A and B are shown apart, each in its own frame.
Chain A
Amino acid sequence: MKGTKIIVVFVYILFLMLPIYWLLNMSFKTTNEILGGFSWYPQSFTLESYKTIFTDPTWYNGYINSITYVLMNTVISVSFALPAAYAFSRYRFMGDKHLFFWLLSNRMAPPAVFVLPFVELYSAMSLFDTPLAVALAHCLFNVPLAVWILEGFMSGVPREVDETAYIDGYSFPHFFVKIFMPLIAAGIGVTAFFCFMFSWVEMLLAKNLTSVSAKPIVAVMTRTASTSGYELGLLAAAGALTIVPGAIVIWFVRKYIAKGFALGRV
């Protein structure tokens, strides 16, 4: 029985990892080799693609831009969602349930709907082609998501803890920062992770709200593929590198993700 289990797991992981292996495999090949024929591993191993990415500013600036707006967005989303989620978790007010659902429904609208108005608005505000523009645009889907996840974690903390704090003499901000936030630290971590990931992989808004100076890596990748022929090795290397930040972040929150799932909010 145990043997079968191991085999099943092994096959499953192999199945999941195959495309990633293939991406890495390609990133160490020259474009000629990739187009030349099928091979399981690089025949003429090269780091040329990675070298290009780390030395050519159009490439590495793409990463810097992406990281910049993703971090900005994560901070904005979480800090705005915290008080909102607290309100949804602790207070009953007119239309609270509808508002909560409406927030969530923002996630259902395709970003394409918002692209044109956003480009217009941000141009008018001189935000176009800045990381802040993308960071703000991504709040469209990340703030509702963050509120949704955080509300679940907050509702897991008994209301009596809040009351005990007020009785003890804490003011609301003091209580929130000193007592409440540490209690939902796991939730904040999980929320930040999801904001990070969704912002990191989003392409449509990021691409259209930038032109030159704030171009994200996903946009750089598409451009390279079309202008200078098929630089598949370079593209594969860039793809492999985009996995890295997500992998690092998930390492930090791996313990809490399961809790998020258990709350039914992720």
Chain B
Amino acid sequence: MLELKNVSKVVGKDLHINDVSVQFERGSLNVLLGPTLAGKTSLMRLMAGLDRPTSGDVLIDNVSVLGKPVRSRNVAMVYQQFINYPGFTVYENIASPMRLAGVDKKTLDTRVREAAELLRLTEFLDRTPLQLSGGQQQRTAIARALVKQAELVLLDEPLANLDYKLREELRIELPRIFAETGAVFVYATTEPHEALLLGGQTATLSEGRLTQFGSTIDVYNRPQTLSTAQTFSDPPFNTIALQKSGDSFSSPLFSLPVTAADFGALSDGAYTAAVRAHHVSLAPSEKHSVTLQAVVGTSEITGSETFVHVDAGGNRWVVLTHGVHRVNPGETITLYIDPRSVYLFNSNESLVHAPTQYQPEQPVQAHHG
């Protein structure tokens, strides 16, 4: 078990990691999700022991490892850049941690060949990393991390620099490959999509703070703050400021009766409503009962989906529709919102209402488009 206790890291005058406390269980898959510069890499470096926290403690199995140099800790790390030993062959690259650990030749050879087989590197074992493609180089680095059988495996955006197809493949294989080792597996990514595909647990990071930690689906469905919600949403949440008085939430653009969904007994005051792009529709339906006028900015067509960027009274919104949908820039259109998929945050940006189907007492289901 890896535990961080009130860990902070100050570099110069900048607070890179701000009072992070978290526990990762053995054999668990943990995703660190956050935008660039949120502190994912800094946090991983602290976990690995490459950096020392300014304050706080890092414990493995309840024993502080702060005094332990990185070479005597049992960790493996894969960087976003493809980092290998350029002078060694792929075989020697993979074998390197075992050679230092004094593993006997036969076991070493078996393990290198197994890892190479698993990561489809067998035919490249005699080449040097620089003669390989980016994907093969990264697989070499992953193989090296794998054979070490470390108790802590840190993957820092390992697939970010790979091409699409390879990413899809490795993303599915990686958790499976490492699951058998029983290690604490930590995976950093900027993409909400990737976190959902990996499953496990997710810790969201924002400006060096750990904003939420829990099962990935739960964090996705019930982000406790607006910042977590934005971190775990791509395209970003559509937000609008509302004022509740009496029996409706209203803004200059539209009003939302409290009876539209199970909004319960919220006191009067200022709220921020947030709704995901795929819960906004361009066509009316029974469910989508709240309407809003917006002016079309641009639209991105990916083929199976169309993202329509609109301006709703000064708020930039994104609407996701299925199929190819043509809208003209400058056109005023009506957006239809399902009130039961609206999140409400109070003036402190804390969650006060999540869509009914995601209430914690109900069974949680993956729901993403």
Residues of A at under 8 Å CB distance from B? 158, 160-161, 163-171, 179, 182-183
Residues on A with C-beta less than 8 A from B77 are 163-164, 167
Please pick, from A169, A171, A182, the residue contacting B97 in the complex, using a CB distance under 8 A: A169
Query: What's the Cα separation between A170 and B71 when bound, in Å?
Result: 7
What residue in chain A is nearest B12 (Cβ atoms)?
A92
Please pick, from A158, A171, A182, the residue contacting B83 in the complex, using a CB distance under 8 A: A158
**5 additional A-B residue pairs with CB within 8 Å, beyond A169-B72, A169-B97, A170-B100:** A161-B85, A166-B50, A167-B70, A167-B71, A179-B87
Contact status A163-B71, CB under 8 Å: no
Residues on B with C-beta less than 8 A from A179 are 85, 87-88
Interface presence of B81 (CB below 8 A): yes
Please pick, from B50, B75, B76, B83, the residue contacting A161 in the complex, using a CB distance under 8 A: B83
What residue in chain B is nearest A175 (Cβ atoms)?
B71
Specify the main secondary structure of chain A where it touches its partner: helix
B:208-252 near A, CB below 8 Å? none
Residues on B with C-beta less than 8 A from A163 are 50, 70, 77
Interface presence of B79 (CB below 8 A): yes
What residue in chain A is nearest B85 (Cβ atoms)?
A179
Interface presence of B274 (CB below 8 A): no
Give 3 closest A-B pairs by Cβ, nearest first: A169-B100, A168-B97, A182-B87
Query: What's the Cα separation between A183 and B70 when bound, in Å?
Result: 22
What residue in chain A is nearest B100 (Cβ atoms)?
A169
A181 CB to closest chain B CB, in angstroms?
9
Q: Which of A164, A165, A183 has the largest count of B CB atoms less than 10 A from its CB? A: A164
Query: What's the Cα separation between A182 and B87 when bound, in Å?
Result: 7
A246 CB to closest chain B CB, in angstroms?
29
B16 CB to closest chain A CB, in angstroms?
15
Query: What's the Cα separation between A163 and B44 when bound, in Å?
Result: 13
A75 CB to closest chain B CB, in angstroms?
23
B:79-106 near A, CB below 8 Å? 79, 81, 83-88, 96-97, 100-101
Please pick, from B48, B50, B81, B144, the residue contacting A158 in the complex, using a CB distance under 8 A: B81
What residue in chain B is nearest A182 (Cβ atoms)?
B87
Q: Known: A160-B79, A160-B81, A163-B50. Contact between A168 and B87, CB under 8 A?
A: no
Query: What's the Cα separation between A163 and B45 when bound, in Å?
Result: 10
Query: What's the Cα separation between A161 and B84 when bound, in Å?
Result: 7
Interface presence of B113 (CB below 8 A): no
Please pick, from A160, A161, A166, A182, the residue contacting B70 in the complex, using a CB distance under 8 A: A166
Contact status B76-A167, CB under 8 Å: yes
Residues of B at under 8 Å CB distance from A? 48, 50, 69-72, 75-77, 79, 81, 83-88, 96-97, 100-101, 141, 144, 148
Please pick, from A161, A168, A182, the residue contacting B100 in the complex, using a CB distance under 8 A: A168
Contact status B96-A167, CB under 8 Å: no
Contact status A167-B75, CB under 8 Å: yes
B124 CB to closest chain A CB, in angstroms?
19
Q: Known: A158-B81, A161-B83, A163-B50. Contact between A169 and B101, CB under 8 A?
A: yes
Query: What's the Cα separation between A163 and B79 when bound, in Å?
Result: 10
Q: Which of A164, A168, A170, A183 has the largest count of B CB atoms less than 10 A from its CB? A: A168
What residue in chain A is nearest B102 (Cβ atoms)?
A169
A162 CB to closest chain B CB, in angstroms?
10
Query: What's the Cα separation between A228 and B72 when bound, in Å?
Result: 70
Query: What's the Cα separation between A183 and B88 when bound, in Å?
Result: 10
Residues on A with C-beta less than 8 A from B70 are 163, 166-167
Query: What's the Cα separation between A102 and B36 when bound, in Å?
Result: 37
Query: What's the Cα separation between A166 and B70 when bound, in Å?
Result: 6
Query: What's the Cα separation between A164 and B137 when bound, in Å?
Result: 14
B9 CB to closest chain A CB, in angstroms?
15
Residues on B with C-beta less than 8 A from A171 are 71
Residues on B with C-beta less than 8 A from A161 are 83, 85
Query: What's the Cα separation between A87 and B358 when bound, in Å?
Result: 54
Query: What's the Cα separation between A170 and B99 when bound, in Å?
Result: 10
Q: Which of A166, A170, A182, A183 has the largest count of B CB atoms less than 10 A from its CB? A: A166
Residues on A with C-beta less than 8 A from B84 are 164
Q: Which of B84, B88, B97 has the largest count of A CB atoms less than 10 A from its CB? A: B97
What residue in chain B is nearest A181 (Cβ atoms)?
B87
Q: Which of B72, B83, B101 has the largest count of A CB atoms less than 10 A from its CB? A: B83
Query: What's the Cα separation between A165 and B48 when bound, in Å?
Result: 13
Residues on A with C-beta less than 8 A from B141 are 164
Residues on B with C-beta less than 8 A from A183 are 86-87
A174 CB to closest chain B CB, in angstroms?
8
Please pick, from B69, B79, B144, the residue contacting A168 in the complex, using a CB distance under 8 A: B144
Residues on A with C-beta less than 8 A from B101 are 169
What residue in chain A is nearest B80 (Cβ atoms)?
A160
Residues on A with C-beta less than 8 A from B144 are 164, 168
Q: Which of B79, B85, B87 has the largest count of A CB atoms less than 10 A from its CB? A: B85
Contact status B83-A167, CB under 8 Å: no
What residue in chain A is nearest B78 (Cβ atoms)?
A164
Q: Which of B48, B71, B81, B86 has the largest count of A CB atoms less than 10 A from its CB? A: B71
Residues on A with C-beta less than 8 A from B88 are 179
What residue in chain A is nearest B69 (Cβ atoms)?
A166
B109 CB to closest chain A CB, in angstroms?
18
